[in-house]
Amino acid sequence: MLGRIWRSDGMWLFWRSPAAVLAAIVAIVIIGGALLSPWIVATSPYDLASFSLMDGLLPPLWQGGDPRFPLGTDDQGRDMIAAILFGARLSLTIGLMAMAIASVLGIGLGLAAGYFGGRFDAIVMRIADVQLALPAILTALLIDGISRGLLPPDVQQSFRVAVLTLAIALSLWVNFARTARASVFVERNKDYVQAAIMMGQHPLRVMTYHILPNILGPLLVIMTVDLASAILLEATLSFLGIGLPADSPSLGTLIRIGMQFLLSGEWWILWVPTLFLVALVVSINILGDFLRDVFNPKVR
């Protein structure tokens, strides 16, 4: 399997694209560092005993800072590298879970709507149309507000990650549903699908075993793009103060904390996590564009 992937046209195109190679390197370094953060950094931003207020507001190393903190520290004495890697770990976890939920929900509804058609298709598409009329952040805000009204105040913090993940997922499922539905219309009348139907196979088997594998290309591109969108949406909600609390340092939370130092001399507290977030999102988007070109030779 790995040998077939290595010898495929996609890998040949990948090595001929400097932008895709550079984006993959950046994404691997950032994602790998975030996933391995508990083992590669000396302090944890969650452990109050691991940092000291006496180390607060130390500048980066090239501005005369402490060698223990190459990118400086924030006002609480937390190592910026540790805070950013742990924050990226939380942001990536939320983004991946939200994208997974959105893809399963959207692809499932899109497959069923395209396959069965009729009233079910009309209901799903009208719901999708209504949601498309609302900005994704407004949908996430609405779901976040409903959860705050339903959950008791003393347990709201315990469910912040789950609520935020669900809010982001429910604001992103429409792209998967519309793409899957349109692709099913193309595949449904092909001979291999009609043969499976005439053989009496169950509709669920026809959709999952015969149609879904042939429409995965465009869906994979949407997964990549929506992963970047989910990370940005989490950062936006946390930046606005309605996402994660300050003691859960995601990238959005770190940027929100750094905003109070915008006009001070401690520029690194705001700009280091901001540049880190930009590098992560841009690299994922470049890889998404590359996958789009691989699966659609007409745009090469």
Residues with Cβ within 8 Å of 195's Cβ and at least 6 positions away in sequence, in order, are none
pLDDT greater at residue 272 or residue 296: 272
Torsion of CA 283, 285, 286, 288, to 10 degrees: 130
Backbone Cα Rg of the chain:
22
Torsion of CA 215, 217, 218, 223, to 10 degrees: 110
> Which one is the CATH code of 18-39+70-295: 3.40.50.300, 1.10.3720.10, 2.10.10.90, 3.50.50.60?
1.10.3720.10
- Phi, psi for residue 8 in degrees, rounded to 5: -80, 165
Beta strands in 138-188 (DSSP E): none
- Phi, psi for residue 187 in degrees, rounded to 5: -85, -25
61-101: per-residue pLDDT in tens?
888 888 888 898 888 888 889 889 998 998 899 999 999 99
33 touches 40 (CB < 8 A): yes
Category of 46 on φ-ψ map: left (φ > 0), alpha (ψ -120 to 50) or beta: alpha
Residue type, 112: A
191-237: per-residue pLDDT in tens?
888 888 888 888 888 888 888 888 888 888 888 888 888 998 888 88
Predicted TM-score (pTM) of this structure: 0.86
Q: What residue segments make up the domains of the chain, in order of their start?
A: 18-39+70-295
Decide: helix, strand or coil at residue 79.
strand
